[in-house]
Amino acid sequence: MTSTLDVGDARLAYTDSGSGSPVVWLHGSGPGATGMSNFGGNLPAFADHRNIVVDLPGWGQSSRPETDEPLIFHAADRVCRAMTALGIDRAHLVGNSYGGAVAMRIAMRYPDRVDRLVLMAPGGVLPADAPPWPVGLEHLFAYMAAEKPSREAMARFVRLMVFDESLATEALIDERYESSLRAHPELPIPPNFGDLTPDLALIQAPTLLVWGREDQTVPLAWAPKILNGIPDAELRVLPHCRHWVQYERAPEFNHIVREFLHGGAAAASEG
């Protein structure tokens, strides 16, 4: 069941399940995204943890942010406020794409609140030659900028997120489309995300990067800057996989992440 929490200037929606060491799950910025749409299928594998799955400000049932502050910075502070309100001093953070950027910001600014950090193709760190945008980001921004985006635009977006397009089911497309219309547009266009590049070395937490080799949204070519910038980071690359690693390769993702959170090596640096 989804609950909401007062974080001072907004309401943040979340689910809270399980018991054990806490894991905070932070979703991506795609249209129609919610915490549970990103991670609901993974949670059974983490039942020995307390799982806090957040709808970031502007998405799902959380209120829209009213701020000129970079979105990553704003969201990170609200997640930390939510952790405090829920009695969580310290947690593992698992972040997908935009949520990975939010997780990195928390680890930079509040290092004592982060145990281990799992980042799936995180945003917030761009190569100098990043634009023109990869096709996945082009579709994301175009969808957000449309006055009333179409279901076909959502279908094109969802198909770009997975290598195996059979996983882009009609039910999934419908779910994401209906969710996106309730909150549209989740992002201001152009978005002011904020740049995390200068502060990568501040991340003290052991960090696991997980990337789909065929990612067309946050390309694997962008990974070395983060891998080399975080002092204690390792990289696992999954072949035949695009941006939604936790969905497209759920069994492998669950195994890798569980092993890492429990203190083991994630496995080889490339798969």
Positions marked active-site? 243
Q: Which residues share a beta bridge with 3?
A: 14
Question: Sign of the CA dihedral 170, 171, 176, 177?
Answer: positive
Q: At what angle do helices 151-160 and 170-183 cross, to 10 degrees?
A: 120
Distances, alpha carbon 239 to alpha carbons 108, 222, 231, in Å: 30, 16, 25
Q: Do 29 and 140 contact (CB within 8 A), yes or no?
A: yes
How far is Cα 241 from Cα 237, in angstroms, rounded to an integer? 9
Q: What is the CA radius of gyration of the chain?
A: 17
Q: How many CA atoms lie within 13 A of 110 on its CB side?
A: 21
Nearest to 204 by CA among 268, 122, 109: 109
- b/e map 9-42, b = 16+ CB within 10 Å: ebebbbbeebeeebbbbbbbbbbbbbbbbbbeeb
| Euclidean distance between CA atoms 54 and 12, whole angstroms | 7
